[in-house]
Structure 1
Amino acid sequence: MSKIPRRDALKQLISAPVAAGLAWTPAEARTARARADVARQEATSSQSTFTSNFLTQHEFATVTTLTEMILPADSRSGGASSAGVPEFIDFMMLDQPDRQRAMRNGLRWLDTECRQRFEQSFVDCSNEERASLLDDIAWPERTSENLEEGVRFFSNIRDLTATGFWTSQEGIDDLRYLGNRYLTNWQGCPPDALAKLGVRYED
């Protein structure tokens, strides 16, 4: 899969349709993020691995691999895994039958398509094989009709990945948002901005 810059991925997510069963509210995302952070901290403290609440071991491994391909680590920050995105997605599935069904069907589709193409599951494929499949479903306008189910699933797992990443502390740091900052005095607009607008301050 072509590595999509994070900012470009966000632009696509804004206009991506959310498939039935996978829609969520900001409050649900905040709750899932808080639960994921606590679970990761507890696992770290006890020197154990995270135990998923909904996803099977194989499904969790698939989600981990998939989200890391969507948002890999780069020179600016870590990737989806280090930000706890797989754990976030697992908590987003709790007590949501329609969402669970959509997620499970999508993961099943991914494995079925990989077996048809490469005779093995998604996690067992090589990076090149996985990338070739994701390239076929990452761009809705280029995709053939027989891959529509995969396109819908990928659009929504990509949205979940972005939500999970940018609600984490690592994701917030990645945005480099400093919030409102107090200024002791007003310096005015930068000269280049004024020049672009064709205006200037009165003497």
Structure 2
Amino acid sequence: MDRRDTIKSLLLGSLAGGALLTGCQPGEQSAEQPATPDTPGSDSYGRTPAEKERDAELMSETFFTETEIVTMAALCDIILPADENSGSATDAGVPEFIEFIAKDIPEHQLPLRGGMMWLNHRANRMFGAEFTACTAEQQKQLLDEIAHPDEEAPELQQGVVF
């Protein structure tokens, strides 16, 4: 390769690299590429108008009572507690997600509500208090009863299923 070919290669490489870099810069979008109203990370990204309408309808409804939400949050935080590296299930919005799923898929409503009723009934029979009013040790004792299906008693069947 002689000096002339080297200079041509350097010039063409510089021009091509510059054109490539400026062509990929973020900035105003041209008329050919209209702005996308829903961006990644937004609640409605990738949703059709019908899906957005359904989501809005579901979000406007409530299924669980305030007491049930508190019970669900306590249960979720026992299963997934906060630690030094991450937040709890409640911090991640798990109770709200369960509420959304219960509204979106009605078949889950009876098992979820029934399971929480069973949990409170069992806590009342064992400790004389609702599940959320029990101590952490009492809550763990109750959940340990139903966590191991091999050791279940007939009166624990509904709790095991929950």
TM-score by length of 2: 0.60
The residue type paired with residue 60 of structure 1 is I
CA contact under 8 A between 1:106 and 1:149: conserved in structure 2?
Answer: yes
CA displacement 1:84-132 (0-9 Å, x = unmatched):
1011001011143321111111110001001111111101111111111
The one-letter amino acid of 1:132's match is: Q
- By relative contact order (CA 8 Å, sep 6+), the higher-ranking structure is 1
For the 8 Å contact 1:52–1:87, the answer to whether it is kept is: no
Q: Which amino acid aligns with 1:141?
A: D
Deviates more, 1:95-104 or 1:69-78: 95-104
TM-score, normalised to structure 1, is 0.49
Mapped to 2, the partners of 1:77 and 1:61 lie a distance apart of: 21
Specify which of 47, 51, 67 is matched with residue 76 of structure 2.
67
Greater Cα radius of gyration, structure 1 or 2: 2
Separation (CA, whole Å) in 1 of partners of 2:68 and 2:110? 13
Q: Which amino acid aligns with 2:74?
A: T
After superposition, what is the alpha-carbon deviation per residue over 1:109-161, rounded to whole angstroms, capped at 9, x for unaligned?
001001111111101111111111001111112222221110110xxxxxxxx
- Structure 1 portions without partners, runs of 5+: 1-33, 36-50, 154-203
Q: Does 1:82 align with 2:73?
A: no
Write the distance in 2 (CA, Å) between the matches of 1:52 and 1:130.
30
**In the alignment, which residue of structure 1 is the partner of 2:13?**
none
Among candidates 129, 139, 149, match of residue 140 of structure 1: 149
1:55 aligns with 2:64: yes
Q: Which amino acid aligns with 1:133?
A: L
Deviation at 1:75, TM superposition (A): 2.4
Written as runs of structure 1 = structure 2, the 5 A alignment for 1:74-153 is 74-153=83-162
Q: CA deviation at 1:52?
A: 7.4
Following TM superposition, the consecutive aligned residue runs of length 4 or more in structure 1 with deviations greater than 4 angstroms are none
- Separation of aligned partners in 2, 1:148 and 1:115: 17
- Write 1 or 2 for the structure with the bigger share of helix: 2
Paired AA for residue 144 in structure 1: A
1:109·1:150 contact (CA, 8 Å) conserved in 2?
yes
CA distance in 1, matches of 2:76, 2:102: 16
CA contact (8 A) 1:67 1:85 kept: yes
- Number of aligned residue pairs: give it: 106
Is the contact between residue 114 and residue 122 of structure 1 (CA under 8 Å) also seen in structure 2?
A: yes
Identity of aligned residues (%): 40
